[in-house]
Chain A
Amino acid sequence: MLSNLIAGLRALFRRNRRNDEIASELDSFFQASIDDKLRRGLSREQALCAARAEIGSAETVRLKVWSAGWEATAESLLQDLRFAVRQLRKNPGFAATAILVLTLGMGAAVAIFSFVDAALIRPLPYAQPSRLAIVYESNSLGPHFHLSYFDFLDYQQRNTVFTSLEAFGHYGFMLTTPDGPQPVHGTSVTAGFFRTLGVTPVLGRDFRANDDQAAAPYVVLISYAAWQRRFGGRNDVLGKTVTLDGKVTSIIGVLPPSFHFAPAEPSEFWGTERPDGGCEKVRGCHNLIGLARLRSGVGFAAAVADMERIGVQLAQQYPNDDHGRGATMDPLVDAVFGNIRPILLMLLCGAALLLLIAAVNVSSLLLVRTERRRREMAVRGALGASRSRLVCQFLTEGVALAGFAAVLGLGVAFAVIRLVLGLIPKDILDTMPYLRTSGLNTHAFAFTGLVALIAALIFSLLPALRVSHADLRDGLQEGSRGASGTVWRRFGSNLVIAELAMAMILLVGAGLLGKSFYRLLHVDTGLNADGLATLDVAGTIKSGAAPQWISFERRLHAELTALPGVRSVAIASEAPLGDGDGSSNFVIVGRPPVDHNEVIIRDVAASYFSTIQARLVRGRYFADDEDQSRQRVVVVNRQLAKVFFPGEDPIGKQIFMEGDPKTAMLIVGIVDNIQEGQPDAAPQGAMYRPRNQNPDDPRDGFTVLLRTGQSEDSILGAAASALHTADPTLAVFNPGTMMEKLYDSPSAALHRASAWLVGSFAALALLLSVVGLYGVIAYSVSQRTREIGVRMALGAQRSTVYRMILREAGGLAVAGIVLGLAGSLAAATLLGKLLFQVRAWDVTTLAAVSVVLALAALVASFLPARRAASVDPTEALHAE
């Protein structure tokens, strides 16, 4: 088998040597034959003659020997291929257009496929990932909130549906480095976390059952990337210690390179979730998410039911903490891919449409070319080429075309993948670790091969079908016009209508996504993001009690305000446009507690509202001297006022946090809604309490907001060093601007990436369909030259000819647009979920796209129309 292959290849690549071999073999046969005949007594001449007669034509023998091996078939294919390439090169315009169009179409499709593959096809790197689920607690704000440690323990012990239930909290750690404390990405997990996932470290060991108990020494697993980056990939990392959150912690293992866990990414350090944390001792303090593996044989619905049962028990048992709360569950795959799946599917549909348009375009180019090659085919047929030989020729041409496009398309796909990954900000990409595995792998190659195969089939069968036997005879007749031209025109017109319709769908999609993206960036955030910089700060050592904390923040405030370029400064527990987390229940004094009374809580400095330039609806903000010695006050947002005080004035009313009825707060003002969560989140009730009445340990971290008239970046560096000077133990991180928060927020980034992609698909589709329309009209004009000549000879005006051609093009364009409108409405309805403040039936988008398409069609048909109008009647009639 192998030797046969090698011998065949050798024969192919050293043809001369193989031919020499055959020749000398034949020669020795010849000589032996002569010798034999001489021995039998024939004369030399007679012997020579007889031997020649015996052997016959040396060339025939050579060909027969040559065709004994498989290489002969391969060679004829190669010959066809060479001919095909020559054909393509002879017609560089056609070849370049067809290959370019296909390359772009295939490149886009392969690139999007590789993302789809990474996110939706390749399984997550865990054992039986479909049996894993994420467990949340629901509250009045929604279904996806954290569990408290005690609730988690109860769920863990009481459930009957999981083989294991573990918990994780993704908050990061403060790593002690020689340059001071540095925040690092990290997650705390309970000991069985990795066993539940079915992941084992590549180096060292997993957590043992007791590693997460209060008495156990601190241990940590590190990610493969952290091992490479921070420890140079050395094996002696095991047993080394790092100081995380001030605790000396031993590294016990390294996770596999393929491991990622999107709900807690990015994470370099995986520490233990222990019962001795501050939050872990309070049932009302929610900081964990559950990870569960379903017992075999237990359905998802049954598991949810069991969790809900326990949730009801807990709400009855601990009404103070768990009133109105319950358990919810999502399959892990949904938790990981839930928000990106519809986007990817939409992009895949877009890429498929683009590829389809490209294929239609190339098919129509091929058909035009087939019409031109009818004579060539007819001549070859007349000279004895069998039909299968002619079809084979088309086949190789199709394969050559698709093959070139596939190779180039892979290059384009590579570029597109890099481009898309570049479009997504790094922070957000870190939370979608699976996307980094997208690239040109075996799946992508297989997909490319499949697409190329289908394309090759279409491109070879289409012309082959068009060249039937009857046509071959027609083709020989000089200047035959026959029915073929009209048939093609009709077929080509239908293709163009389909193309225009698909381009319309893509354009509408791009228009809607673009508009949605614009709306997202220009959403009313309730603050002035321009010129607002933010810094996250956290203390790393214990620093006294509440009075010290307040004076410490006042000191920071003063020093930052003194910086040049800084107009005002505010300290807050959290900056707006974050994750929208951090909520609590409240009660209105004099009314019974109600369900769904959870609102966002922010503790902010008195300068907060003026610094972010919030809008006061009514009442007043609080002042810096309203501290714990004075009447407790609070500012609520408009949403809270609307939901909890419908039809009445909240100002002057008193409220208190659930479980703390003694500290009632007086509502002194209503502020317009400030967007605390993602820009596309619905408005939520929120209250703003004076930081000086609700002081916080610097170790819990806070955000500094700086308002400046100059560029935000210029003051961020100065602010960071001022903070360091004020207190060297402070960790300062995440310097950024509010504009960045708005533009690079996860939802904006996803919107932007999809708007860009669909936009470029649509632009390409528009170009392709316009070129296709041009091709059809130009072909039609070239076919009708004689007719136009006759018309003009009979007195038709140029303007009439113009109108005639434009009417033909206009008919196609209108048909395409109408069909496209219907398709767009269907597509846009599917898109609905991804849109923000834009309806699927957005009339302006639909109208604008129709106009753009109509204009483009007009331009495309104008050139052939002009050519038609400039036909010289005498020449047109002579030419025939």
Chain B
Amino acid sequence: MPDDLVQGTLEMLVLKTLALQPMHGYGIALRLEQVSHGVFRINPGSLLPALSRLERAGRIKAEWRATENNRRACYYQLTSRGRKAFEEERAQWDRQISAIARILEA
């Protein structure tokens, strides 16, 4: 993961990823890597603390389940609070990005 991916951003990306369906940790990392075309490579040293923080904040719920490969993994699922938080963060992000873009283009 690039150093400049700020903490809050990673959490937002995780929430976005989980908005589609519940996933386990590696699945989230893989999906972020794929969707970003390899730009964001998230290692567990960043991902797991972020997941722990999100869980503490009640934005995601964790549950141990069997994977498609018949292993056990912890699946994370968005809670309604998490969904709301994601919407808010996304709106704020959009505002900031467009503001930055306007400044850069001016």
Contacts and interface: CB of A to CB of B under 8 A. Distances in A.
A60 interface: yes
Nearest to A54: B43
Interface string A231-249: 0000000000000000000
A8 B74 CA distance: 19
A65 B52 contact: yes
A25 B69 CA distance: 16
B38 interface: no
A8 B49 CA distance: 14
Interface in A1-59: 3-4, 7-8, 22, 24-26, 28-29, 31-33, 35-36, 54-56
A836 to B, nearest CB: 68
A69 B49 CA distance: 9
B67 A32 contact: yes
A29 B44 CA distance: 8
Given A29-B26, A32-B24, A36-B30, A7 B56 contact: yes
Main secondary structure of the interface of A (DSSP, over half): helix
Nearest to A58: B44
A3 B74 CA distance: 20
A89 interface: no
A216 interface: no
A30 to B, nearest CB: 8
A35 B71 contact: yes
A659 B85 CA distance: 94
B49 A28 contact: no
A67 B52 CA distance: 10
Q: B46, B49, B50, B53 — which one has the most chain A CB atoms within 10 A of its CB?
A: B49
B56 A56 contact: no
A22 to B, nearest CB: 7
A202 interface: no
A64 to B, nearest CB: 5
Given A32-B24, A56-B43, A67 B49 contact: yes
A4 B25 contact: no
Contacts of A56: 43-45
B71 A22 contact: no
B57 interface: yes
B25 to A, nearest CB: 5
Contacts of B100: none
A64 B69 CA distance: 28
Nearest to A31: B71
Given A25-B25, A54-B43, A4 B48 contact: no
Given A35-B69, A36-B26, A26 B48 contact: yes
A61 interface: yes
A22 B48 contact: yes
B49 A3 contact: no
Interface in A568-600: none
Contact of B44 (A26, A36, A69): A26
Interface residues of A, number: 25
B25 A32 contact: yes
A66 to B, nearest CB: 8
Interface in B10-64: 24-27, 29-30, 43-46, 48-50, 52-53, 55-58
A73 to B, nearest CB: 14
B74 A25 contact: yes
Q: A22, A25, A56, A69 — which one has the most chain B CB atoms within 10 A of its CB?
A: A25
A68 interface: yes
A68 B44 contact: no
B43 A64 contact: no
A64 B24 contact: no
Given A28-B25, A32-B25, A32-B26, A64 B48 contact: yes
B95 interface: no
B44 A4 contact: no
Contact of B56 (A32, A33, A68): A68
Contact of B26 (A4, A22, A33, A60): A33
Interface in B65-102: 67, 69, 71-74
A11 to B, nearest CB: 10
Nearest to A51: B26
Given A4-B57, A64-B49, A69-B56, A28 B71 contact: yes
A8 B53 CA distance: 11
B71 A55 contact: no
A19 B25 CA distance: 17
A33 B27 CA distance: 9
A61 B25 contact: no
A65 B62 CA distance: 15
A3 B57 CA distance: 8
30 contacts: A3-B58, A26-B48, A28-B25, A28-B26, A28-B72, A28-B73, A28-B74, A29-B25, A29-B29, A31-B71, A31-B73, A32-B24, A32-B25, A32-B26, A32-B67, A32-B69, A32-B71, A36-B26, A54-B44, A55-B43, A56-B44, A56-B45, A61-B48, A64-B46, A64-B48, A65-B49, A67-B49, A68-B53, A69-B53, A69-B56
Given A22-B48, A61-B44, 5 more contacts: A29-B44, A55-B45, A56-B43, A64-B45, A64-B49
Closest 4 CB pairs of A and B: A32-B26, A68-B49, A28-B73, A68-B52
Interface of B: 24-27, 29-30, 43-46, 48-50, 52-53, 55-58, 67, 69, 71-74
Interface of A: 3-4, 7-8, 22, 24-26, 28-29, 31-33, 35-36, 54-56, 60-61, 64-65, 67-69
